[in-house]
Structure 1
């Protein structure tokens, strides 16, 4: 998968204007709306709903790609720094990701729950 360049993301963001990113439920509703509009192309309201939802989904995709790019560049920067003699830890990585706008708090909670369950597995 080829990511958009920073310039392409900026152009897409400018085109979308103040569109808000779709939440998970919106994504599912938009898929349904697009499928319905595809079968009922003569229904202007159905097509309008599908297009409106699609713009919100595109906003979400751009946000995800921005997050993905920030994660990749942060990891790469710290790996190269470590390869050149610095001593960054995973805590440093977590801090740098947070500074880059990548929020992993929910992921930490899930990982902690999984680790706790794995530790208790031999007791069962």
Structure 2
């Protein structure tokens, strides 16, 4: 039996204020997000290597679910430095939920963005 290359094909992070969330994630990742209409909702797509990479977007609008503090966590790539990305997250208004800790093949930390979305960051050591 063959396995897929990636366990995730696409992800969406629901937000209430797309402009604010986009500014936060651009500051933390150091990459521009691309605005895109997604049906009646709006999205801001994370930079990724299409078609090999796994992509995702911030979602805001009538077809996006409401932001929540619980549920599935998607670990966003903080390479090349988890510490640098976490420092940028604090500067952009994030709050600690737990400090960096080892997780599956990486170091990870969980923060709450200023848009109150729980976000996990990972960086392979």
Q: Relative to total residues, which structure has the larger strand share, 1 or 2? A: 2
Q: Highest CA radius of gyration, 1 or 2?
A: 1
Do these two structures clear the TM 0.5 threshold for a shared fold by scoring above it? no
| TM-score normalised over the length of structure 1 | 0.24
Q: Relative to total residues, which structure has the larger helix share, 1 or 2? A: 1
Which fold has the larger relative contact order, with Cα–Cα distance below 8 Å and residues 6 or more apart in sequence? 2
